Structure 1
């Protein structure tokens, strides 16, 4: 499994970061008509000497964090030389973003999208000094980039542990929205391990911290003054903040940073499975006391998991000695495994635990996946608007069908036609469907209206769908 993500409970191996309506938080002077939420510029530096005080209203006083760590937050200015106009003159463009210093000798973390394709990168410190920056490395999959400036004795941030943070806790962002340096905003953690789409590999920290263009790459602090995330994008229909912002967990970013600094690129583990979360009913049917682990919905027959003996219908309880409480946790865990390493995996099968050992494979790059070098086990046909997965043998028997695909999520044309999560697609235009690839091919080759045969509540029906 590579970077996996969830689409209404379905986690799929190997995709890149993207979400409908979500925009990277980087500030570009000319955006070409597409709204982009842009750069938060964080403030970071030294650990505050005391915890934030509480104002009479009950809101924490964040001034100690800002004072201690603000000097380590930087403004990033990027130039793209671009092409030439009709009269032969250059048409350069520029962009703004944020970043934060992680070592006193000048290493800086920011977002990949802030510096992507840059011809010149300039870092301006809180004390107004400016430095030319070198891009040490950038990783599009996680949207993390490492910069280096020629300076020493710099203020740095303190790195925290995102796993210790809780939903509802206060967090603080420092950045340069719209180029306004050292802007401080606050809010709470709204959710953790938020996967955004079939293309997202990162389990984001969701907050309601106001972030806007220019905030990208800035730090997200907890009340101890520790950085727990990199502010990366917002969900917006307007291009401006609408209450939903997302940060890359700092532990994942630091893992990427270590590889970029050492090797200039990032290698990721792969085990070759597609998984989904378990609800109470599904856990009970499998004999589990509580909904935990990741239910295996598909196994790459040529992948590491298959070679180790993992099967469809297994529940992955732990990987490399770490418990798996939910399917959302698995993608980043797998990505951080070392290719070629032998790791233990514990599964639940037929009411009993079973221990296996698998040899971690190497995930393909986002460019290779985009070129179609790697299958997407649960990718939903875009024109139909569903996310689906194959049924287990038990589910096929319970539904009374020989083959079919369980609908996990519905939107667009499928939703308008009345298809629902839990429906089983058994055919398209009277042709039986048994795999995601078959459904994708049928929909890709269809135009206008198609007839989707579904099984629902023990009965089958044909539903006409006008494709998007």
Structure 2
């Protein structure tokens, strides 16, 4: 009698929950499946011993295999810094270090902006122990993403996951250079604690309980497929706060990388408005409260007859309640494009069409400070 067997494997440490179906046979009330199909579904290895008539199965070692797969794509970054550990400027050079992820075999690496900004004579060390000078740096402090270049060939680039497939509770691994440069390619394991966190950042972040220590910045957060889901960026460290780290999701990382490769800079679209969030949005309560316009910064916004005191409900048909909402939405636009804004002005609900400005061109926006350095 033929049948189809469906199995579900519960998540354990280092293994994601999965389900699978396979052909089966029922003989005398017993269900039999092909051993190769079963091993494939469970993710381990198996071998039949004809002498003993037994089948030996060994469970999947997902985490060690992922670390082995990803580690060659992870580098250490070290250099001199005039800023001491407590943030006080010193005349004496101090060493600072972080982590990076290889994204192209010809030497392009992504890391955090705060890892490379201010470094003097920075060096990149690959897993095979080779050392390279950084020849070019693109840095964007607003996203905390930097792109660096070394003169190397045949490097192993990491694989990026799809942001839409990242889920809360998923097992993830952080690989980096914590505390000391001698601890390169250290790995820690945890789960994704939350998505779309608007915490002290221009864009939304991934929250994780994976240990992210000083020096892990710029390193990958990877899933059990060995795909990068985020670039580790920051952690909250205080009495009573534990296991709260944050990573920049891959869609934001790719957005910044693509901008630098295509334009050599960040063409960041802006409404040209200064906005105030509601109290509910500021403290993180679920809300559909609109934003209040407290300043009109760009000539394009002034031309659209937008003024202080107006209320903003939606951008391009999408409801917005925070500045981060708008920043995320505008990642799909470039300066010069037009968007429609649903607003309230003088008590009337109106639609305004505004030409998006380049944030770098808006006078008074001191946060927009992306840099390009060559031949450091």
Is 1:337 the equivalent of 2:333?
A: yes
Is residue 186 from structure 1 mapped to residue 189 from structure 2 by the alignment? yes
Q: CA deviation at 1:345?
A: 4.5
2:266 counterpart residue number:
266
For residues 217 and 102 of structure 1, the distance between their equivalents in structure 2, rounded to whole angstroms, comes to 13
Tell me if structure 1 keeps the 8 A contact 2:135–2:151: no
Deviation at 1:74?
0.6
Shift of 1:208: 0.7
Q: Please report the TM-score for the alignment, with normalisation by the length of structure 1.
A: 0.55
Output the CA distance in 2 between the equivalents of 1:139 and 1:145.
Answer: 6
Look up the match of 2:291.
296
Residues 124-135 of structure 1 mapped to structure 2, 5 A cutoff: 124-135=125-136
In 1: Cα distance, 2:351 partner to 2:297 partner? 20
Is the Cα–Cα contact under 8 Å of residues 290 and 321 in structure 2 kept in the other structure?
Answer: no
Which residue of 2 is the match for residue 195 of structure 1? 198
Larger Rg: 2
Secondary structure of 2:156 counterpart: coil
The 8 Å contact of residues 146 and 261 in structure 1, kept in 2 or not, is answered as no
**How far off is 1:232 after superposition?**
0.7
Distance 1:140 1:82, change over 3 A: closer
Correspondence list, 1:24-173, <5 A: 53=43, 61-80=62-81, 91-173=92-174
Secondary structure at the aligned position of 2:242 is classed as: coil
Between the aligned partners of 1:366 and 1:359, the Cα distance in structure 2 is 13
1:241: Cα distance to partner? 8.3
The 1:235/1:60 distance shift into structure 2, 3 A limit, reads farther
Structure 2, unaligned runs of 5 or more:
1-39, 45-58, 85-90, 281-285, 368-376
Most deviating of 362-371 and 143-152: 362-371
Q: Which residue of 2 aligns with 1:375?
A: none
Check conservation: 1:134, 1:147, Cα contact below 8 A. yes
1:73/1:302 Cα in 2 relative to 1: closer, same or farther (>3 Å)?
A: closer
Contact kept in structure 2, 1:273 and 1:305, CA below 8 Å: no
What is the rounded CA distance, in whole Å, between the counterparts of 2:68 and 2:120 in structure 1? 33
| 1:168-195: CA deviation from partner (whole Å, max 9, x where unpaired) | 2222211111231111112122222222
Q: Distance in 1 between matches of 2:291 and 2:233?
A: 30
Q: What is residue 29 of structure 2 aligned with on the other side?
A: none
Distance in 2, matches of 1:294 and 1:360, equals: 23
Cα contact 1:51–1:224 (8 A) shared by 2: no
Residues 176/82 of structure 1: CA separation in 2 closer, same or farther (3 Å cut): closer
Distance in structure 1 (CA, Å) of the matches to 2:294 and 2:335: 18
SS in 2 for 1:177: coil
SS of the aligned residue for 1:260 comes to helix
Aligned-CA RMSD value: 3.9
Deviation at 1:354, TM superposition (A): 7.1
Contact 1:52 1:62 in 2 (8 A): no
Q: Which has the higher strand share?
A: 2
Task: Name the SS for the 1:68 alignment partner.
Answer: helix
* Cα contact 2:310–2:344 (8 A) shared by 1: no
Q: Following superposition of structure 1 onto structure 2, how do residues 12-23 of structure 1 map, counting pairs within 5 Å?
A: none
Does structure 1 retain, via aligned residues, the 8 Å contact 2:217–2:233? yes
Contact 2:74 2:100 in 1 (8 A): yes
Deviation per CA, 1:35-63: give whole Å up to 9, x if none: xxxxxxxxxxxxxxx99959xxx998322
Q: Does 1:222 align with 2:202?
A: no
| 1:358 corresponding residue in structure 2 | 354
Matched residue, 2:373:
none
Q: Could you tell me whether the CA contact under 8 Å between 1:189 and 1:208 is conserved in 2?
A: yes
Q: Describe the SS at the equivalent of 1:142.
A: coil
Question: Is the alpha carbon distance of 1:229 and 1:368 closer, same or farther for their aligned partners in structure 2, counting shifts above 3 Å?
Answer: farther
* Structure 2 contact 313–341 (Cα < 8 Å) conserved: no
Deviation of 1:219 (Å): 0.8
**Count, aligned residues:** 297
Matches within 5 A, 1:398-437: none
Determine which structure has greater relative contact order: mean sequence separation of CA pairs < 8 Å that are 6+ residues apart, divided by chain length.
1
Alignment partner of 1:148: what SS?
Answer: strand
What residue number does 2:10 align with?
A: none
Contact 1:234 1:244 in 2 (8 A): yes
CA 1:258–1:362 in structure 2 vs 1: closer, same or farther (change >3 Å)? same
